[in-house]
């Protein structure tokens, strides 16, 4: 048994899994550590406004590039040679720029038309400035995804860490020299530079002097349909993460309450570190073997159980250490959020331990429609319930709603996967 574990660890080391795990931890740590300074440099009211603006920007990110970055991790992987991989990369990258420039212009105008709540009337300019960042941020994400699609786990982890570190340090610097506006301005400048640098790295390392194949209309259509379905699926899921703050602000909650909710959510959000790292690592392998049902179900069970075990261990530590974690991260003024954090943590454990791996694996192997339908059901339920519970129970109502909806989605997705890849037959369940 021990020899088998050691052998599996050696295989994972050789394939670069450790780089992704360490990179994910390092990236999250830097982001978390940097945000400690931002929380302390801004007043509670300013932090609430910044959270509100970032939340609105997240809504725009739902349609960024019309989902084309998701196609990188499928079609660049499936490309038979560098010429074919280059044609997919070039098409996805160029088309993303066009879409995102148009999206940015439309929403910059909308930022000044949208009726912000009275407490956030000064947010229009901040949001408009942040929207300038969209095409450049998406370009960076495309380039990082290309590193992963090339199975260059070490470079992917290192580049991701560097980008996150520079962005976080830039935000801290912006908070130190000024206010919300300076934080956003510095972040925009960093992504502008990051887009140019990462694009140069990808082109020189993989596609220099490579003549790409010509992409035909059928291939473009296939990529666009896949990306759009993935965008809808991811967009519906992201609504879970961002509709809470939006509804809280719309249903009368003050910036202070929103700041409390954001702080309570910080540590539970980090439960997903391992889950995200595992998903990033295994996705290309499932894409490569998607037609081999025996391989898929065997390896899915392994991944699912390992992920669940690690998530539960991390969640247990966070629950026990909730009080000191809140104090270290945000200070005494946020100590009222400890119980809220623990309730949100339950939902995070269900989401990351039971739902996410199943959803990511299905979508990666081209089964986006199932994830899309389940996500739609979940979003409708979550928003409908929250509209009722927020006026009565506030942030605690939001947290409990998430637990119910995540559980339902996790069960449905698992049964879909089990039926499609014969997991019941494998485990003896009829």
pLDDT band at 430 (very low <50, low <70, confident <90, very high): very low
Q: For residue 116, give both structure tokens.
A: 């912000």
User: Residues 26-37: what's their mean pLDDT?
Assistant: 63
* pLDDT tens readout for residues 323-371: 999 998 888 888 999 999 999 999 999 998 888 888 888 877 877 778 8
| Nearest alpha carbon to residue 139 among 64, 78, 81 | 64
Q: Which helix (H) or strand (E) holds 122?
A: none
Which tops the pLDDT comparison, 369 or 220?
Answer: 220
User: Residues 391-397: what's their mean pLDDT?
Assistant: 90
- B/e letters for 100-133, b = 16+ CB within 10 Å, e = fewer, are beebbeebbeebeeeebeebbeebbebbbbbbbb
Q: For residue 173, give both structure tokens.
A: 């610097």
- Comparing 23-27, 302-306, 353-357, the range with the smallest average pLDDT is 23-27
Instruction: Provide the pLDDT for residue 107.
Output: 94
- Comparing 19-28, 278-287, 300-309, the range with the smallest average pLDDT is 19-28
Instruction: Provide the pLDDT for residue 4.
Output: 52
Q: Tell me the average pLDDT of the chain.
A: 83
Is residue 428 left, alpha or beta, with left meaning phi > 0 and alpha meaning psi from -120 to 50?
A: left
Query: Does 26 score more than 70 pLDDT?
Result: no
% of the chain beyond a pLDDT of 90 = 29
Compute CA distances 301 → 224, 298, 359, 361, whole Å. Answer: 31, 6, 14, 12
User: Residues 373-396: what's their mean pLDDT?
Assistant: 89
- Does the pTM surpass 0.85? The reply is no
- CB-CB contact of 94 with 111 (8 Å): no
Cα–Cα distance measured from residue 204 to residue 199, given in angstroms and rounded to the nearest whole number: 9
- In angstroms, what is the C-alpha Rg of the chain? 21
Cα–Cα distance measured from residue 134 to residue 57, given in angstroms and rounded to the nearest whole number: 9
Cβ neighbours of residue 227 under 8 Å, at least 6 residues apart? 65, 66, 67, 68, 70, 71, 92
Cβ neighbours of residue 96 under 8 Å, at least 6 residues apart? 65, 68, 69, 135, 138, 139, 142
Query: Does 429 score more than 50 pLDDT?
Result: no
Angle, helix 272-288 to helix 356-364, in steps of 10 degrees? 30
Instruction: Provide the pLDDT for residue 6.
Output: 47
Is residue 67 left, alpha or beta, with left meaning phi > 0 and alpha meaning psi from -120 to 50?
A: left
Query: Does 241 score more than 70 pLDDT?
Result: no
Instruction: Provide the pLDDT for residue 333.
Output: 84
* pLDDT tens readout for residues 148-188: 888 887 888 888 888 888 988 998 898 888 788 899 999 99
* pLDDT tens readout for residues 406-427: 999 999 999 999 888 887 664 4
User: Residues 94-104: what's their mean pLDDT?
Assistant: 95
Cβ neighbours of residue 12 under 8 Å, at least 6 residues apart? 18
* pLDDT tens readout for residues 223-235: 998 888 878 877 7
| Nearest alpha carbon to residue 12 among 21, 3, 1 | 21
In three-state secondary structure terms, 113 is: coil
| Tally of residues, the chain | 430
Q: Which helix (H) or strand (E) holds 66?
A: none
Instruction: Provide the pLDDT for residue 114.
Output: 84
How many CA atoms lie within 13 Å of 277's alpha carbon, on the beta-carbon side?
Answer: 28
Cα–Cα distance measured from residue 390 to residue 399, given in angstroms and rounded to the nearest whole number: 10
- CB-CB contact of 55 with 128 (8 Å): no
């Amino acid at each position: 048994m021990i020899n088998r574990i050691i052998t599996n660890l050696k295989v994972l080391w050789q394939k670069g899994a450790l780089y992704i795990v360490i990179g994910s931890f390092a990236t999250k740590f830097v982001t978390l550590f940097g945000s400690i300074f931002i929380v302390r440099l801004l007043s509670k009211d300013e932090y609430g406004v910044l959270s509100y603006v970032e939340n609105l920007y997240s809504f725009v990110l739902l349609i960024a590039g019309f989902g084309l970055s998701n196609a990188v991790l499928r079609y660049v992987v499936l490309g038979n040679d560098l010429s074919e991989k280059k044609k997919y990369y070039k098409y996805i990258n160029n088309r993303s720029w066009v879409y995102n420039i148009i999206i940015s212009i439309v929403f910059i105008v909308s930022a000044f038309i949208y009726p912000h709540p009275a407490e956030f009337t000064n947010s229009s300019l901040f949001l408009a400035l942040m929207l300038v960042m969209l095409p450049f941020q998406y370009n960076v994400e495309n380039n990082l995804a290309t590193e992963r699609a090339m199975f260059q786990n070490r470079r992917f982890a290192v580049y991701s860490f560097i980008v996150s570190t520079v962005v976080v340090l830039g935000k801290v610097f912006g908070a130190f020299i000024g206010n919300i506006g300076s934080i956003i301005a510095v972040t925009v400048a960093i992504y502008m530079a990051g887009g140019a640098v990462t694009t140069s790295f990808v082109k020189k390392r993989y596609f220099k002097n490579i003549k790409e194949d010509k992409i035909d209309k059928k291939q473009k259509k296939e990529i666009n349909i896949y990306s759009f379905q993935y965008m809808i699926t991811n967009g519906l899921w992201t609504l879970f993460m961002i509709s809470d703050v939006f509804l809280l602000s719309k249903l009368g909650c003050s910036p202070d309450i929103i700041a409390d909710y954001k702080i309570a959510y910080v540590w539970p959000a980090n439960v997903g570190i391992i889950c995200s790292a595992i998903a990033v690592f295994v996705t290309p392998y499932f894409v490569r073997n998607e037609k081999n049902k025996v391989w898929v179900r065997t390896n899915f069970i392994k991944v699912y159980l390992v992920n669940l075990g690690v998530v539960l261990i991390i969640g247990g530590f966070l629950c026990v250490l909730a009080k000191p974690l809140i104090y270290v991260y945000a200070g005494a003024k946020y100590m009222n959020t400890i119980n809220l954090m623990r309730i949100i943590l339950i939902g995070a454990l269900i989401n990351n331990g039971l739902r996410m791996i199943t959803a990511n694996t299905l979508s990666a192997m081209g089964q986006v429609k199932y994830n899309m339908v389940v996500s739609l059901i979940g979003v409708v339920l979550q928003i409908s319930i929250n509209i009722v519970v927020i006026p009565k129970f506030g942030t605690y109502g939001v947290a409990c709603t998430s637990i119910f909806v995540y559980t339902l989605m996790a069960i449905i997705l698992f049964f879909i996967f089990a039926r499609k890849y014969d997991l019941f037959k494998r485990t003896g369940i009829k």
